[in-house]
Amino acid sequence: MSEHQILFLPSRQSSSFEEGTTFLDAALELGILIESTCAGLGSCAKCRVVIPSGARDPGPVEKNLLTPQELTKGVRLSCQARVGGKGVCVVPETSRLVGEQIMVDGHRSAIVLGPDLRKVHLTLDTPELGTKFFDAEELSRRLGVPVSQNLRAVRELPHLVREHKSSVTAIIDQDRLLGLEGGDTTASLYGVAIDIGTTTVAAKLLDLREGRVVGVASALNPQKAYGADVVSRIHYCTEHEGGLELMHRLIARQVEDLISKLCRQADIKAVQVYKLTVAANTVMQHFFLKIDPRAVAEMPYAAPFQGPITVEAAELGIMINRLGVVYVLPNLGSFVGSDITSVLTVLDVDQTPGIQLVVDIGTNGEMVLGSQERMVCCSSPAGPAWEGATIAWGMRAAHGAIERAEILEGDLQIRTIGGVPPIGICGSGLLDLVCEFVRAGVIDKSGRILGRAAVPETLPAALTDRILEQERGVSHLQIARLENNEHILLTQKDIREVQLAKGAIAAGIAILMKELGVAAEQITRVSIAGAFGNHVRGVDAVDSGLIPPVDPERIRFIGNAALSGAEAVLLSKDARLRAEKLARTIEYVEISDRADFQDTFVEAMRFRGTP
């Protein structure tokens, strides 16, 4: 696939995107959140942007919802407009998603720029004969950090004094001297925020002097070749000599490649990068830091460390500046990793009144519920249904996947990724389908597909025709016809898989609510994070019973907020301290050994949607 450079204004962020990517997704990848109440379904028309160049021609949805005048001016719906060449996209203030303290240009103000990592240039005094004089001690006094603790820096001092006429730049991180450079090098200070996911690795290059995002890049986690999920990768480690070393090298190399790519695009050198901040689930942290992950996979499933971990980049074999340092955010629990800590760092749960729920939906669901007074968290194994596994026609979110479904004008309407003929169903499409059929009365609240005779009389015939009755009262649903006349089906078993997946998350949330004594109507805000979560519609999240029955207006989709959190701690010492405080104070609730878990889970498998 070809890629095209898109420049976003007014934030001046740019990156390369795959041909056919929606501008909504492209913006999200850069951390620019665009209002999209319908979650990209092309019905709310709130995601208006102006694209003077670089987009494919408007399709029927845009022609329907935008006026000819708007279209002439280049106004587009960012959820519909797709990248077709090198171009520019202007995001008007009215289309920006505000209200969350997300670390993106436009509402950067929530994070006060003040990084742990800083450079100080100074010229050392020339010692006078007769003074008790030591350059290192003068430097310590003027910097406020103990220089003699860093032998490497002390060794360089005589050279710097002689060759650079005592002009020295000190690189300091967390009040610790990383090292010295000759002359004034303060003009150059970069860092990279990284989110290491099981599937995807995302990285953002930042200019730490201005707090400016210079570029964003992402890539697949190359460990995928050794298993799609963390359990199989841990298994690989335990079964193969050198397995951990391999997993570590794969991810370290990928991180290094992303940094190289970002530096190339920004026309800077990797030696100008001094710090990496990393958010990741606990297993990815084990691999990244080269720590045996077996403890997480075996009873009693306890990670050996909470963190934060600070380590020299060189120790991890990552080539940035020779003085470079890596900060890995702290975890909340053995299965509630620093990706969640990172998300919370850019939200305001601990800073504003009201009870908030934060959910990250993935193979593992992680959730945090609470307020300024008290916060609790848990994790729940949702399984790989959202990624298409265990689903008859399931597939990942790729070209040809049904990502949206809606019953309109008496029949099911679908939309695929890339707008091509459908070849399967991805997670968001799966949830859409199930919810639409529940709302239409084709699937009952227990999850059973009703027979043709049992559906509501008012059900349009086209929908009834989609019911494919099997033996022993089991039915499937026909979703779309393939070119070979075969049908993409939604099977009864698929619906059970959806129930198990959403039930696990819903049960976790229910137990947290019980733990805090909180009812659904008390929850003032639900923030849904993660790539999959970002494609879920609020109404589906509620109707499916995935989240408690809150007004969909209270639901926010915050995208890859884990990367934003890593960005926040890179840019701000205060944010870093907040992340560490959150990790210390949020209580971990283990749900699987609770007496009430089974009942809660069974109840959570039911659907909520009308009727």
Positions touching a second copy (CB under 8 A) are 126-137, 147-149, 151, 154-155, 157-159, 161-162, 289-295, 299-311, 315, 331-334, 587-590, 592-594
Task: Please name which of 483, 380, 476 lies closest in space to residue 433, comparing C-alpha atoms.
Answer: 476
Q: Which is nearer to a second copy, 1 or 299 (CB)?
A: 299
Q: How near is the Cβ of 226 to a second copy at its closest, in Å?
A: 19
Q: Which is nearer to a second copy, 236 or 588 (CB)?
A: 588
Q: What are phi and psi of 412, to 5 degrees?
A: -80, 130
Strand segments (E) across 148-249: 167-173, 176-182, 190-196, 200-207, 212-220
Q: Which is nearer to a second copy, 325 or 405 (CB)?
A: 325
Q: How near is the Cβ of 177 to a second copy at its closest, in Å?
A: 13
Q: How near is the Cβ of 539 to a second copy at its closest, in Å?
A: 35
Q: Which is nearer to a second copy, 234 or 434 (CB)?
A: 234
Q: Which is nearer to a second copy, 288 or 386 (CB)?
A: 288
Dihedral sign (CA 289, 291, 297, 302): negative
Q: How near is the Cβ of 117 to a second copy at its closest, in Å?
A: 17
Give dist(CA 28, CA 605) in Å, integer.
31
Three-class SS of residue 206?
A: strand
Integer CA distances (angstroms), 200 to 232, 247, 280, 462, 559, in order: 16, 15, 11, 40, 14
Q: Which is nearer to a second copy, 245 or 486 (CB)?
A: 245
Q: Which is nearer to a second copy, 155 or 481 (CB)?
A: 155
Q: Which is nearer to a second copy, 226 or 305 (CB)?
A: 305
Give dist(CA 361, CA 501) in Å, integer.
10
Amino acid at position 337, single letter? G
Task: Please name which of 465, 558, 563, 557 lies closest in space to residue 218, comparing C-alpha atoms.
Answer: 563
Per-residue b/e over 338-365, b at no fewer than 16 CB within 10 Å? bbbbbbbbbbbbbeeeebbbbbbbbbbb
Give dist(CA 106, CA 10) in Å, integer.
8
Cβ atoms 110, 116 nearer than 8 A: no
Only one residue has tokens 């979650």, namely: 39
Q: Which is nearer to a second copy, 38 or 296 (CB)?
A: 296
Cβ atoms 434, 476 nearer than 8 A: no
Structure tokens that stand for 283 in this block = 């297993």
Q: How near is the Cβ of 128 to a second copy at its closest, in Å?
A: 7
Q: How crowded is residue 165: how many other Cβ atoms within 10 Å of its Cβ?
A: 13
Structure tokens that stand for 235 in this block = 């298994």
Q: How near is the Cβ of 289 to a second copy at its closest, in Å?
A: 6
Q: Which is nearer to a second copy, 96 or 290 (CB)?
A: 290
Three-class SS of residue 544?
A: coil
Task: Please name which of 475, 465, 396, 445 lies closest in space to residue 544, comparing C-alpha atoms.
Answer: 445
Q: How near is the Cβ of 149 to a second copy at its closest, in Å?
A: 7
Q: How near is the Cβ of 138 to a second copy at its closest, in Å?
A: 10
Q: How near is the Cβ of 593 to a second copy at its closest, in Å?
A: 5
Q: How near is the Cβ of 472 to a second copy at its closest, in Å?
A: 39
DSSP bridge pairs for 169: 121, 181
Q: How crowded is residue 125: how many other Cβ atoms within 10 Å of its Cβ?
A: 12
Pairing of strands 3-9, 83-90: parallel
